[in-house]
Chains A and B, each alone.
Chain A
Amino acid sequence: MGNDRTDRRITDQSVREQYNRETGQIHAPESLIRRTKETVREKERRIAQEGSERQENDRPARQRHAFGRLYRWALPAAAAGLAILVGVSGIFFGRGRDKAWEESVPEEDYYPEDTDQASTDEEKQAQFERHLQKQEAAFGEDTAAKEPEAADLAETTESAADSGATQETMQDALPDTENGVKETAGAKLQAQEQGSAQAEDLDAGIAPALKSVQFYDKDQNIVEAEALWYNAARIESILLRWEGGTPSNIKVFRTPVGSETMEQTELLLTKSIADGEESVLLDADILRDSGMGSHLFFELDFGTQIVTSEEYNILYDEDMLPDAGGTPSAN
């Protein structure tokens, strides 16, 4: 037993000495050292340059930071506001409004006894048609302006709501028969549909395209590429913005670095997009196992056309995080 142990120790010791002898003959090639030093100098120069630029732009950077925070929530909030305003304007302009209005107005108002203002049915009809044309023109202008901001839409809605006096005039000018009232509602609806069609035409003028892809860190700062590489360890979310329609879904793909790796391309995520959305914020957890490097790209399916983004070089490296410290616990 004791001899076995002694034998093993001797064997282990001799193996160790032999391994050390063999390994000790290995040295890092001088060319490699020279190349590494050059790369290191280049990186130090870049870091120093970025440091000085950061100092110069310190104030704008803070502003960008604040904008980043705002920007993250502004888009969903604006979209929600827009949806509400469209709904409200639908009540004012659409069938719902007419029905409500019809129900709320007493029957005698439909058939005013006093007909002094318009002596004949023809005059009333002509007066109403003029007014309708005026309204259509106004509505057409609003549509042509086509500013999707909530404020403008609110203004349009308000102008419609504020036209109480006009509505009273309309009420006076309504034909004396119920059919006339229905025709009026139909005419208004038609005008509205024409407006929508114009808006859609405007939309149709822009080809589907990916406007921007931005990576954000946990503080909502934009993560910039370092030497054309993005560090996935810093990225918390990815913001995609597009124009010219809404894609039905977005796909995220990754290809490992290296030659002939296209067949290794894998689908990381498929995200369905609600109608009318103009952007989407994706969670960057999908990039966590990017390893030593991969190329990331996005596909937006617009139905008739699939738009593919450029490729983004992604590296996952926690050691390069600014707050990672780096002081090892050992020794």
Chain B
Amino acid sequence: MPKEEGITTEEAIDRYADMVYRLALSQMKNTTDADDLFQEVFVRLVSHIQDLESWEHVKAWLIRVTINCAKKHFAQYWNKNVDFLEEPEKLTNGSGGYEMPEEQPVRAAVQKLPPKYRTVIHLYYFEELTVAEIARLTEQKETTVKSQMHRAREMLKELIQDTV
């Protein structure tokens, strides 16, 4: 397959900045860590951009690396043992930086799920990936993803009911 033209890291940032940032926010517990993760992912992309043949490849690569970087972050002793007591993130729109006025009960409930459930819920709901695609990106069996989806939905339902 011939390589698509115009695939550069800066263009990738323009196209997928929101996607990576939303995924980073769904994985991390505060905006500072999400910012760091966002930067790390795109800086890594510089070394790999020449190997990616299409924008679909770039998108899949970004999702996979964002998830892996977040896993590594939480695998560290320090991060495993310290829980930041930050309030729900300051959410921003494109013009740069104000707190969203609207309440976000569902997002808040998703943030309370364990990280692996957060990942599958976000990818399934928002990125609209199939179970097979999620399984490939997270390097798990499809059956594992399905069971994670099921448990995540059950937990989410309970959390939302509690909130309401």
Contact = CB atoms under 8 A, between A and B. Distances in A.
B72 A39 contact: no
Interface string B52-79: 1100110111001100110011011110
Given A40-B10, A319-B44, A325-B51, A23 B126 contact: yes
Per DSSP, are chain B's interface residues mostly helix, strand or loop, or mixed? helix
B117 interface: no
A132 to B, nearest CB: 67
Contacts of B64: 328, 330
B102 interface: yes
Contacts of B25: 26
A40 B122 CA distance: 27
A179 B110 CA distance: 97
Interface string A23-39: 11111111111011101
Contacts of A11: 157
Contacts of B106: 15, 18-19, 22
A291 interface: yes
B38 A27 contact: no
A116 B110 CA distance: 111
Contact of A28 (B21, B45, B52, B53): B21
B76 A256 contact: yes
Contact of B126 (A19, A43, A316): A19
A26 B45 CA distance: 22
State which size class the interface on B falls in: 35 or more
Interface string A250-280: 0000001010010010000000000000000
A119 interface: no
Of listed B26, B60, B78, residue having the most chain A CB within 10 A? B78
Given A327-B57, A328-B61, A329-B136, A292 B126 contact: no
17 contacts: A12-B153, A19-B106, A19-B125, A23-B107, A26-B22, A29-B96, A30-B95, A31-B96, A256-B76, A256-B78, A264-B77, A291-B72, A291-B73, A292-B69, A325-B51, A329-B136, A331-B57
Given A40-B10, A292-B73, 18 more contacts: A19-B107, A19-B121, A22-B106, A23-B26, A27-B17, A27-B92, A27-B93, A36-B13, A36-B17, A39-B39, A39-B42, A40-B43, A40-B45, A258-B78, A261-B78, A291-B72, A326-B51, A331-B59
